Amino acid sequence: MPARPRLSVVCPAYEEEDVLPRFHAALVPAVEPLAADYDLELLYVDDGSRDRTLDVIRDLAAADPRVRYVSLSRNFGHQAALTAGLDHATGDAVVSLDSDLQHPPALIPVLVAKWRDGFDVVLTIRGDDRRLGWFKRLSSRAFYQVLGRMSSVEVRPAAADFRLLSRRAVDELGRLREAHRYVRGMVQWLGFRVAEVPFEPAARQGGVSKYTLRRMLRFATDGLLSFSPAPARLAAGAGVAITAASWLLCVCAVALLVPLSEPVARVGLVLLTALHLLAACGLGVAAVLGEYAARVYDQAKGRPVYVVKEATAGAGHGVARVR
């Protein structure tokens, strides 16, 4: 560890022109006390915002040499923006937090203290908070229950994307170049010593949430399919069971109804039902396998996770640095 370690704070921002100046005004006094012992780097990632977010960030960088930024060429999504920030951060420890003031910057010195105690990963655990809205709370709880059952990697429920990673953890995370990124799962996958710090999330201090229902579903799918083969296994198991049942049904139909010289129409009906069952299960299995195949395809393409449009001088090239 150098005599004056470097501390990076990574903040992804997508269309946050409204809240960003207030966020920065809260961030600076929160990390100022650390400036006595650490070289600070405040790294903003503009995730292809179409509003004035990049202008705001440029102004912040012009006014304060500790502010650096990376601006992505289009909106790549929160997890990709976070990855871009981690790739470009130069600190011996890197803290990431949302730039809408839902994650309290005042907690950063607490995370740093844990890191100095020897933890490579310091997670923050969101307290149960009414302000999150019932839908987000219930769906998140249900999701982590399912993920916990299915996955071999334990992802802490309510773990926020507000965390500290040591240089070692950041470098190791950088070696995972998967296309569908579920960073909180990937961090757990790394192993290392993990500390947890509870916090009460605040309400968003301006702008609107970028996680629409569609994005939340995609995020949940990424978490499930990237960390568990269970959906494919479940589909395969159900496929076999349903196929066996429909075959049995056919045999019964023929054995029972034909000798009793029942109307042929009834036999036809039973066969039709069996065929429908079979077709339905076939389609279900194909859908799940198709989802995995799509992921293999994505990964095989080997595209970088993001493309940088602009960065402060000396920012380096993330992917080149990692590989």
- Site residues for ligand UDP per CB under 6 A: 12-14, 16, 47, 75, 77-78, 81, 98-100, 102, 209-211
The residue assigned the tokens 């196929």 is 243
Closest distance to Mg ion from the beta carbon of 215 (Å) = 12
Picking from 315, 320, 319, 323, the residue whose alpha carbon sits closest to that of residue 71 is: 315
Judged by CB under 5 A, does residue 92 bind Mg ion? no
Full DSSP string of 21-44: HHHHHHHHHHHGGGGGTSEEEEEE
The span of 70-78, 94-102, 119-127, 262-270 binding Mg ion (CB under 5 A) equals 94-102
123 - beta bridge partners?
Answer: 163, 196
Judged by CB under 5 A, does residue 151 bind Mg ion? no
The span of 91-99, 171-179, 194-202, 242-250 binding Mg ion (CB under 5 A) equals 91-99
Structure token pair of residue 199: 């916090």
Q: From CA 201, how far away is CA 195, in angstroms rounded?
A: 18
78 binds, among Mg ion, ligand UDP, none (CB under 5 to 8 A by kind): ligand UDP
Judged by CB under 5 A, does residue 18 bind Mg ion? no
Phi/psi region, residue 296 (left: phi>0; alpha: psi -120 to 50; beta: rest), is: alpha
Picking from 226, 144, 140, 249, the residue whose alpha carbon sits closest to that of residue 180 is: 226
87 binds, among Mg ion, ligand UDP, none (CB under 5 to 8 A by kind): none
Judged by CB under 5 A, does residue 228 bind Mg ion? no
Q: Where are the alpha helices (DSSP H) in the chain?
A: 20-31, 53-63, 78-88, 108-116, 134-150, 167-174, 183-190, 213-227, 230-252, 264-301, 318-322
Closest distance to Mg ion from the beta carbon of 103 (Å) = 8
194 - beta bridge partners?
Answer: 121
Closest distance to ligand UDP from the beta carbon of 153 (Å) = 21
Closest distance to ligand UDP from the beta carbon of 78 (Å) = 4
Which of the 8 DSSP states describes residue 255? Answer: I
Judged by CB under 5 A, does residue 188 bind Mg ion? no
Judged by CB under 5 A, does residue 16 bind Mg ion? no
Closest distance to Mg ion from the beta carbon of 210 (Å) = 8
Closest distance to ligand UDP from the beta carbon of 297 (Å) = 23
The span of 97-105, 130-138, 219-227, 304-312 binding Mg ion (CB under 5 A) equals 97-105
Closest distance to ligand UDP from the beta carbon of 104 (Å) = 13
The span of 96-104, 116-124, 233-241, 264-272 binding Mg ion (CB under 5 A) equals 96-104
Residue closer to ligand UDP (CB basis): 115 or 162: 162
Residue closer to Mg ion (CB basis): 157 or 206: 206
Closest distance to ligand UDP from the beta carbon of 180 (Å) = 15
Full DSSP string of 126-185: EPP-GGG-HHHHHHHHHHHHHHHHH-SS-PPTTEEEEEEEEHHHHHHHHT---SS--HHH
Picking from 313, 318, 292, the residue whose alpha carbon sits closest to that of residue 76 is: 318
90 binds, among ligand UDP, Mg ion, none (CB under 5 to 8 A by kind): none
Residue closer to Mg ion (CB basis): 19 or 308: 19
Core vs surface per residue 217-241: b (16+ CB within 10 A) or e: eebbebbbbbbbebbeeebeeebee
Q: Cα angle vertex 232, ends 230, 235, to 5°? A: 105
Interaction pattern, residues 99-138, with Mg ion; x per rule: CB under 5 A: -x-x------------------------------------
Structure token pair of residue 50: 């179409």
Query: Which residues of the chain form contacts with Mg ion (CB under 5 A)?
Result: 98, 100, 102
